[in-house]
Amino acid sequence: MVNSLKKPFGYEPILKKEDLKKGAKRPREEVGDWKKALLNIWRLVDEQRGLLITVLALVLVSSALTLLGPFLIGKTIDNFIIPMKTAGLGKQIGLLLAIYAGASLTMYLQNFWMVGIAQNTVYKLRSGLFSHMQKLPVSFFDKRQHGELMSRMTNDIENISQTLNSSFIQVFSSILTLGGTLAVMLSLSPFLTLMTMIIVPIMFIAMRWITRRTGILFKQQQRAIGELNGMIEETISGQRIVKAFSQEERMKEEFAEKSGKLRNTAFWALTYSGFIPKVMNMLNNLGFAIVAGIGGLLALRGDGIVTVGTIVIFAEYARQFTRPLNDLANQFNTVLSAIAGAERVFSIMNETPEEDTAEGNGDIRLKGDVEFDHVSFGYAPETDGYTIEDLSLHVKEGETAALLGATGAGKTTIVQLLARFYEADKGTIRIDGIPISELPRRVLRSQTAFVLQDPFLFEATVRENIRYGRLDATDEEIEAAAHKANAHEFIERLEEGYDTLLTADGSEISQGQKQLLSIARAFVADPVILLLDEATSSIDTVTELEIQAALETLMEGRTSFVIAHRLNTVKKADTIYVLDQGRLIESGSQQELIAEQGVYYNMLAQSKL
């Protein structure tokens, strides 16, 4: 068993006895329906099945020609070489050349066309996966590492691509070669065929012992790659935080742990799969020795049943018989890795997308009257309870509502429910009297704009980043939005103005300038409802005044929800809602709340100390 192996060069055995037991319970991601995965890939080939059938026909032809070559060589030895006949020998050699040339040509064509089929199939798979991910709810991405998802888009699909490119033809060709070789060998000498088959049970036992382990190990390897990619992506994204808290050593340790897990898994997967060619070569040589030894003895009897040419044919076919087995065994590991990747890819594609059953309100133009009617919601209500509970509030069209409360009070959750990133567990959220469950998400979100604490910029020009708010916006509308957002002046100072290319992290501009661009993006979107989530919390006081002025312009005539810790950003709100552990404890204008001398009054007094 694996656990009895000594640890070589720090590589620890990672398979346990229960891993090798049939039906052993494993983590959900390690277990997939490989039949469904293969069926799904087959469906992707649907439009190219005609070409695929042509490729399979060429494989059949090339396999037949490959089998015919050794047979003719043996007959040439018996009919021309041994009797020293030259008449017709040239024609026989020409036929052999034509056969091997035809085999080479058909192999080239089948490989050429199969590459095209494979790449088109993988293109459809990759596009389908990316398209499906755009339909998945925010909750799906909140629960998964981004790097691990990227690994499925890249590593797993690349494994599928490599398998389709090479393994598919090789597996089909090996099966045909095995069948054809066995048929010809039986027709020539059943006894020698039986002697050659002695190695098959040994081969089967060895392959079963190896593949039981490699199947598990390759799946573990794919998981380890995904975990490592996830950790790398998170670390690079949060590199400033890592350095700010001097956590470089801890991150190095965590990376070493995950990288070591991948090294360990890959080591054993490749070690076990590496046994395959060695075992096959040994059995191949054993088969050749059996044919040569027993065939030679039979030929010496001189009864003509077994000739020298027959021995030559059998010797070549013995190699041809074990070579496809060797190829099948080698490709088995590649196919296992690809199937593991396919299971991981299709596990995402089987995730339920956001569904819109409300099509009747597809062209409605919202006004912005928002009402929460006894709404309760929890991210995991069964275990952690409700994040907001029995919440009722009413924000009229064009009004500004400020949401205050400690971290975890439920402020951001309210905004996420309003955008339908999550669905309420209890109660109803209405806009203009219509339950938002009856509004298509594209209608709701196209008329809603976010300005977040950490603005996100794409690796594109300043102009394209602003245009993301509405893709059909003209250059004039983009510049007008930048003027309103107080961003035009700093944009003009950039090296190429609006055509300046920004990186994904926007390191070329300051945090405040990023926020101004996100406000300009919101202006272009021209939303009915505006959601501001700590939009000024990470900005210095001087820049905050500039951003606050831009936000006030943006909020004019729009229903706005403002989340803020700094009380000076919510003083002008029509209604201030104070939350505590998901419950609404106070609401009213600033004057009303001060007059009540409650929680808000104390918060305001403390902020002035």
Q: Residue 570 sits in a domain of what CATH number?
A: 3.40.50.300
What is the number of helices (H) and of strands (E) in the chain? 23, 10
Confidence band of 322 (pLDDT split at 50, 70, 90): low
Cβ contact 451:512 at 8 Å: no
- The answer to whether residues 393 and 332 belong to one domain is no
- The answer to whether residues 63 and 109 belong to one domain is yes
- State which H helix or E strand residue 49 sits in: helix 49-76
Give per-residue pLDDT as tens, 460-488: 899 999 998 888 999 999 999 999 988 89
Q: What is the DSSP letter of 431?
A: E
Place of tokens 């027709």: 187
CATH number at 104 reads: 1.20.1560.10
Residue of 105, 590, 28 lying closest to 350 (CA atoms): 28
- The answer to whether residues 340 and 393 belong to one domain is no
Flag whether 2 is in a domain. no
Phi and psi torsions of 372, nearest 5°: -105, 120
Residue of 574, 567, 607 lying closest to 591 (CA atoms): 574
From 349, 382, 401, the end of a domain falls on 349
Flag whether 125 is in a domain. yes
User: Sheet harboring 559-563: ordered strands across?
Assistant: 448-452, 529-533, 559-563, 400-404, 575-580, 583-588
Flag whether 500 is in a domain. yes
- The answer to whether residues 339 and 424 belong to one domain is no
- The answer to whether residues 141 and 217 belong to one domain is yes
- State which H helix or E strand residue 451 sits in: strand 448-452
Cβ contact 487:463 at 8 Å: no
pTM, two decimals, is: 0.69
Cβ contact 110:62 at 8 Å: yes
Place of tokens 């346990």: 16
Flag whether 16 is in a domain. no
Alpha-carbon gap, residue 312 to 320, rounded angstroms = 12
**Total of domains in the chain:** 2
Q: What pLDDT, on a 0 to 100 scale, did the predictor assign at position 377?
A: 94
- The answer to whether residues 410 and 331 belong to one domain is no
Residue 607 has pLDDT above 80, yes or no: no
- The answer to whether residues 505 and 568 belong to one domain is yes
Flag whether 443 is in a domain. yes
Q: What pLDDT, on a 0 to 100 scale, did the predictor assign at position 464?
A: 92
Mean pLDDT of 159-188: 82
Q: What pLDDT, on a 0 to 100 scale, did the predictor assign at position 24?
A: 45
Residue 2 has pLDDT above 60, yes or no: no
Flag whether 255 is in a domain. yes
Confidence band of 9 (pLDDT split at 50, 70, 90): very low
Give per-residue pLDDT as tens, 54-112: 998 999 998 888 888 877 877 787 777 777 777 878 888 888 899 889 989 998 999 89
- The answer to whether residues 345 and 386 belong to one domain is no
Mean pLDDT of 308-322: 73
Residue of 577, 499, 575, 516 lying closest to 550 (CA atoms): 516
The more confident residue out of 351 and 564 is: 351
Flag whether 409 is in a domain. yes
Alpha-carbon gap, residue 369 to 395, rounded angstroms = 6
CA–centroid distance for 498 within its chain: 34
The 10 Å Cβ neighbour count of residue 539 is: 22
Mean pLDDT of 248-260: 86
From 315, 349, 383, the end of a domain falls on 349
Q: What pLDDT, on a 0 to 100 scale, did the predictor assign at position 538?
A: 58
Domain that holds residue 388: 370-607
Flag whether 4 is in a domain. no
Mean pLDDT of 485-499: 91
- The answer to whether residues 345 and 399 belong to one domain is no
Taking phi over 0 as left and psi of -120 to 50 as alpha, with beta for the rest, 304 belongs to: left
Distant-in-sequence, close-in-space partners of 231: CB < 8 Å, separation ≥ 6? 145, 147, 254, 255, 258
Alpha-carbon gap, residue 96 to 308, rounded angstroms = 19
- In SS3 terms, 335-395 reads as HHHHHHHHHHHHHHHCCCCCCCCCCCCCCCCCCCCEEEEEEEECCCHHHHCCCEEEEEEEE
Poorest-pLDDT segment among 447-451, 529-533, 547-551: 547-551
Poorest-pLDDT segment among 204-213, 366-375, 452-461, 524-533: 204-213
49-76 and 308-349 are packed helices; what angle lies between their axes, rounded to 10 degrees?
Answer: 160
Residue of 550, 495, 489 lying closest to 518 (CA atoms): 550
- The answer to whether residues 251 and 341 belong to one domain is yes
- The answer to whether residues 89 and 234 belong to one domain is yes
Alpha-carbon gap, residue 378 to 66, rounded angstroms = 66
Most confident of 278-282, 451-455, 540-544: 451-455
Q: What pLDDT, on a 0 to 100 scale, did the predictor assign at position 4?
A: 38
Taking phi over 0 as left and psi of -120 to 50 as alpha, with beta for the rest, 23 belongs to: left
User: Sheet harboring 388-395: ordered strands across?
Assistant: 388-395, 370-377, 426-431, 434-435
Q: Which two tokens stand for residue 609?
A: 């100390």
First to last CA, the chain: 70
Q: Output the CA torsion sign for 524, 527, 533, 534.
A: positive
Distant-in-sequence, close-in-space partners of 275: CB < 8 Å, separation ≥ 6? 206, 210
- The answer to whether residues 383 and 453 belong to one domain is yes
